[in-house]
Chain A
Amino acid sequence: MLNIILWLSIIWLAPLMCFVLANEAKFKKNIAVGVTLPYEGRQDSQVLARLSRFKKELGVMCLFLLLLPLPGILVKGLAGNMTLWFLWLDLCVFLPFIPYVRCNRELKRIKRDRGWNVNAGQTLSVDTAAVGAGRWLSPWLFLPPLLLCLLPLVFERSFWFVYLMDALCVVLFWLCYRYLYRNRAELVDENTELTLALTQVRRHNWAMVWLISAWFMVILNLCMWLFREKQGLMLLLVLAFSFLFCAAAIGIEFKTRRIQEKLTSESGQRWYRDEDDLWIGGVLYYNPKDSRLVVNDRVGLNSGFNLAKTSGKVIYGLILLLLLAMPFTGGLVDGIGTKPPMLEVSETELISSRGSKEDVIPLENISNVELREELPENLSRTFGTSLETLLEGNFFCSELGTLKLRLDPTCPPFILVKTTDGQTWLLGTRDEACTREVVEKLKG
């Protein structure tokens, strides 16, 4: 069942990825699949046939990606599943770009053959009347969500780490809003009004995405705070709001694309901007003469980086490394899970350890020791590790409040230790006899 939930949580990425790329086949700002074509190119039979083939190829790719996880459902264990899960995610990110880049190349060839390279070359155009148009949103607009994220800290601190991280995310979203956007006019042709309208549409929707993201963090925090004792309901609400958030973000992207398509439906009949030679495969911007790192994608809302800059190479390199390293997380999780939690009682201390991690509780500080055959209900992690065979770190439950855990949930019994300084520990080992012996020593 866990496998199916795991796969269902990401399977929608394949159709979404293919749908986003298929949308590139529609002409927006005179561009289709990363190739700028004149108005007459939109009616060219060869162009239309290639675009149609591109959409079919994406459909096949989507079907392939949807069928690929089927054997994965049969794999047992979290580590193995995570490896397959991330491997599939990598394929989902890279594979749809194969038909995209192929189509981009062929469209460029058609463009050359037809003599449509009117103003091609490594050129970059600017409309002086549209430079610096638009204003940034005031950072104060991000202050209410930031304060609301921090609000639960006033009332309770058990999930302090989560509240703080969410508040930091709001700050990060403002930084992304302000610095991941290249303040450049959306020049398409000589029509300055069109340029200004397109620029305004992009700026407005860009701001919307980041503001919605900031308020989404507020909702997450409030759910966490208000429903912390009803874990099931909290999880359900978090999932529902995450779904709504994703839908809103995708909706804004496609709304922007639709407006771009509509506003430029008659463009490209005279002069039109053509910067194809600055884009590798229609995907990656490469311009050594551009001193800026951030670059706006030509279609939609997204931003990218200038690959000609060292910092751009480093960022893309890190993203690539991260994507390629993801499947190894399964092995890492497996490694963490294999190290058993240990308990040891000396003359003066109770030592709970796992690998290099160790916590020492002085015996004189222990006020109460209890042996429990089951874990408390509605146990939720606030900061730490939660695996099939390991619970470690800070947790919360309505019965005991905030508590620290280091145990294997599949190996009862567990030792509940309370200290005079108000801390609660729930500890265990994988050896039942050893755990019972520790309790006897502590009680003795």
Chain B
Amino acid sequence: MLLTFDFSSNTPLYLQLRNQIVIGIAQGRLSPGEKLPTVRALAEESGVNVMTVSKAYQLLKQEGYISTDRRGGTTVCGAKSSLPLPGELLKALRLHMSELRLAGLSKAEVMELCGKLYEEG
């Protein structure tokens, strides 16, 4: 899977990494059980600080998207089955819905857009 770090973006690098891995899992570009590079190797490859990569991996591990094992390294866990949705996610979703409504989109248009994005992953 291709990861792109945008150094001119306002989004912190660890969050860029975390978001891309989440999207990659959702889109099926990263399949469950697939190995991810080690923190050190990914840091070496991208030039991003080891701590930044480590922070992203920690976050992904906390969220249950990846698991780490001393022998097996870091592997993708796949889709999370834990429900209900985390409060932070619901908050963000509510905010985005409000923004779409204020942008003048109807409920049908929002649903269509959401459906399209959901299909894409």
Contacts and interface: CB of A to CB of B under 8 A. Distances in A.
A132 B7 contact: no
Give chain A's interface residue range (CB within 8 Å of chain B): 20 to 34
Give chain B's interface residue range (CB within 8 Å of chain A): 20 to 34
Given A184-B45, A289-B48, A123 B37 contact: no
A289 B13 contact: yes
A125 B2 contact: yes
Given A121-B6, A289-B7, A131 B47 contact: no
A320 B83 CA distance: 62
Contacts of A122: 6-8
A182 B7 CA distance: 20
Interface in B48-99: 48-50
Interface of A is mostly: loop
Contacts of B26: none
A126 B37 CA distance: 11
A127 B29 CA distance: 12
B1 A128 contact: yes
Contacts of A35: none
Interface in A244-292: 271, 287-292
A338 interface: no
B5 A183 contact: no
A132 B44 CA distance: 8
B47 A132 contact: no
Interface in A334-380: none
A124 interface: yes
A124 B53 CA distance: 14
Given A124-B7, A131-B37, A291 B49 contact: yes
B47 A125 contact: no
B1 A289 contact: no
Nearest to A195: B2
A292 B44 contact: yes
Nearest to B42: A131
Contacts of B2: 125-128, 187, 190, 271
Contacts of A291: 43, 47-50
B3 interface: yes
Nearest to A291: B49
A132 B43 contact: no
A2 interface: no
B6 A132 contact: no
Contacts of A407: none
Contacts of A183: 41, 44-45
A119 B4 contact: yes
A185 interface: yes
B36 interface: yes
Given A125-B3, A291-B50, A292-B44, 19 more contacts: A122-B6, A122-B7, A124-B5, A124-B7, A124-B47, A125-B2, A126-B2, A126-B3, A126-B5, A126-B45, A127-B3, A183-B41, A185-B45, A190-B2, A287-B7, A290-B47, A291-B47, A291-B48, A291-B49
11 contacts: A123-B5, A128-B1, A128-B36, A132-B38, A132-B45, A182-B44, A187-B2, A271-B2, A289-B13, A290-B48, A291-B49
